Structure 1
Amino acid sequence: MIRQRAENAVKVLILLAIGGMAGAAAFTHVHDLTVAHGQPNWIGWANAVAVELMAIYLGLEIRSRRRAGRPVGFVGVLLVAFSLLSLAAQVAEAEPTVWGWIVAAVPSLAFLALVKVVLSSAPAAPAVATDEGLEAVDEPNPEPVTVDPEPVREPVIYAPVAPPARPAASAVLPPLGVVHPTRPGVVGVIR
């Protein structure tokens, strides 16, 4: 229990260190590229925040949509687009050599890999209250839930019912050639 907590604390510290440094490098490259192409300093930072935080947000959105069973296609395309923007800024600020491009791409790729690992991690095991506090429970083979089937209902048999008798046409229609009292202009009924 204590070892697990210590391990989790170390993971969080590593996560924060890598995320902070990679994020700072990626933010700086996007900012510098924006300013180098004629934009004011504050717009450089605004672009850096928009590009880098959008990738994190879209990763979170994909995770929540998957849990809800909703489609993730469009959000996934946006994540790839913003990731490519970040990566392009890294490479554009690099020395124009293969190694310069690779080294410049490392912060962006590390940041995106970190986001992917964090967002794809499995949820924690449920906690159970004990005398010493909460303890995680690992249930590798949970008991299957059985559901009693609905009781069998006896079929209901309906007796055929004859359709109601229809009156003969002569009982409903007036005789031929007789003027109907409510319609003086109509003579008889066409049969």
Structure 2
Amino acid sequence: MARPALRADAVLVQAVIAGALSFAHLHDLAAAAGQSGWKAWAYPVSVDLLLVAAWHRLRSGGSKPAAWCWFVVSLTASLGANVATAGLLDLGDVPAWLRILVAGWPAVAFLGGTLLAHGTRAQAPMPSPEPVPADNSAPGASDPAPELSTASVPASVPAPVPPALVALARKVADEHRARTGTAIDTSTLRARLGVPLPLAEAITAHHLT
């Protein structure tokens, strides 16, 4: 179990080293472009924060094109500083166009950070409402009754009423009579079976009398 922990620590150390090097390169480039003191240290913080904000927006949802745009902008600024300080640019004689880019970066970073912070986030789709079954009043249009044995049901049961439903209705009626001493009424039968009122009336009239 110790090996995964060591790997995680190694990745963390590598990330810290890479971040520190990139941070130093951005600071050196900003200082060479005329940004002295605390301002030179603020530039790498600004670039890294914009990079992290864009990556977070890509992972959490929202406007993907805008997030990718600011991710590329901040990544270009970071990579550009790394390349510029690798000996390809004379930091003692920084060109004017680079000074302009460095001086204009705070406005660009402020705009990107504001748009990422207040941009529209993706919303989860609302679940579609479940269809409500129609309460058809025609005989035989109700939900199918529980599957019961129909061995004791006579073959002369009318077709509109399922034999299993008749058997269940008779069982419910017998239990009601045994408990109350009276015949079951149509409303009680309908509530016990969960069928439309016309079907309960048909069962009461033709099969329970």
User: Which TM-score applies when normalising by structure 2?
Assistant: 0.42
Indicate the structure with greater strand content: 1
User: Which TM-score applies when normalising by structure 1?
Assistant: 0.46
Indicate the structure with greater helix content: 2
